[in-house]
Amino acid sequence: MGLSLKERVFTALLGIAAASGLTMLILILVKATNVFLPADTKFGIVFDAGSSHTSLFVYQWPANKEKDTGVVSQALTCQIEGPGISSYASDPAQAGESLKSCLEEALALIPQSQHQETPTFLGATAGMRLLSQKNSSQARDILAAVSQILSKSPVDFWGAKILTGKDEGAFGWITINYVLGMLLKYSSGQWILPEERILVGALDLGGASTQISFVPQAPILDQSTQATFRLYGANYSIYTHSYLCYGRDQVLRRLLAELAQRSPVARVRHPCYHSGYQATLPLAPLYESPCVHTTDSLNFTQNITVEGIGNPGDCVAALHRLFNFSSCKGQEDCAFNGVYQPPVHGQFYVEASYPGQERWLRDYCASGLYILVLLLEGYKFSEETWPNIQFQKQAGGMDIGWTLGYMLNLTGMIPAEALTQWRAQSYSIWMAGVVFAVLTLSAILGAAAVQLFWTQD
């Protein structure tokens, strides 16, 4: 015996009510999951705006930090096309535009729901420090241009600024010790401070500056060279100093200018260039940098012819003239230029830039000899301590530089736990509302079905 009309209508309406309620529940739960469920991983973006190029790094860490510091890993690195942002002094807007392609690559990696909570920072180093000395208004215009681009992107923009040399050195020290497992270690299912850890020093040779950072054996006597911070519940105090104008590119520029000033004619015999090398160069660009001191006797409108003579002894002697070793006057706690430095102690990791373009081949000899002079006579490494130096660009699968150290320090300022708790509470409240709304809708549709049933003839 078939169902009556009333029974068929009643059954259909109840089905509609159930289907509608279930559909709404699924849709709302999907939205609630996307918006309110706590994210397991947080992200951060750091731009390293160096003197010769700019790099972007994306870092990630679990939302639950270890003793107020995130366990950070590198998720992406992207090299910005073109020169460093300090090269855009005549076209600041282009400095900002140059960042877009790598920023888009970073945003494609990070879940869209987390874009607005991703801290993003641009740190400019020695190239911009030099430009700020030469023309502060141009430096401000460049920072304003990159800030305009980054502030319009869907991220949590923390600003663009010129890092001090001290910060650059300290963050670099944090980076190398972190990636080597000296600050945190995973053991027996938990993160702990290593029991036996030997903290290492960091040496950084960039295009415009060089930094040295390490933990000395004795107390630091000059407080201006001391950096302190707290990571994973432990306090650290290190010696760090940055030498502006002693990066690779600026040293090569200063070296050529020094040789030109000693030449009586517009022909420079360069002892660091190989025999047979010859090139004609304009003189004026050499003196655009604040690192190069001018003399009234030079005619900046002329060109100079540079000839290589390949004499290592004379090359080292010319490099020596770029340092002021006599200012230390035999003091043990002094490097060069009268700068205080405790005796080097422990193992050191060096990060140095190694340009691969053919146009840099002429400078390999000068660069290598300069590094020797800097390490042996500048920083006072000896035959005994030289084996403690390791030259590396990466360690633990991550790039060595200041950006990771900056991000580790930054995670201490992000209240990840509070944010996660707020999201969990919001999710519970939202779910209660969802259940109430679905039950109410189902009750209304059910009542309508019953009413229709009894009024149907």
Closest among 44, 174, 114, 65 to 423, alpha carbons compared = 114
Report the distance separating Cα 2 and Cα 437, nearest Å.
36
Residue 303: other Cβ atoms inside 10 A: 11
Expressed in percent and rounded to 5, the helix, strand and coil fractions of the chain are 45, 25, 30
Annotated binding residue 84 = no
Q: In sequence order, which residues have a C-beta less than 8 Å from that of residue 433 and are 6 or more positions away?
A: none
Report the distance separating Cα 420 and Cα 427, nearest Å.
10
Report the distance separating Cα 45 and Cα 56, nearest Å.
7
Tokens of 57: 């790094």
End-to-end CA distance of the chain: 19
Closest among 159, 129, 202, 181 to 402, alpha carbons compared = 202
3-class secondary-structure state, position 388: helix
Annotated binding residue 207 = yes
User: Which residues does residue 47 pair with via DSSP β-bridges, in sequence order?
Assistant: 56, 122
Annotated binding residue 240 = no
CA 306 to chain centre: 37
Annotated binding residue 210 = yes
Q: In sequence order, which residues have a C-beta less than 8 Å from that of residue 102 and are 6 or more positions away?
A: 56, 78, 79, 80
For residue 272, the surrounding DSSP H or E stretch is none
Tokens of 60: 């990630």
The phi, psi pair for 134, rounded to 5°, reads -75, -45
Upper half-sphere CA count for residue 86 (Cβ side, 13 Å)? 26
Annotated binding residue 237 = no
CA 101 to chain centre: 17
Residue carrying the six token digits 């502006």: 244
Residues known to be catalytic: 168
Task: Please tell me what DSSP assigns to residue 49.
Answer: E
Closest among 274, 269, 301 to 285, alpha carbons compared = 301
- Cα 30-34-36 angle, rounded to 5 deg: 105
Q: Which residue numbers belong to the known binding site for ATP?
A: 207-211
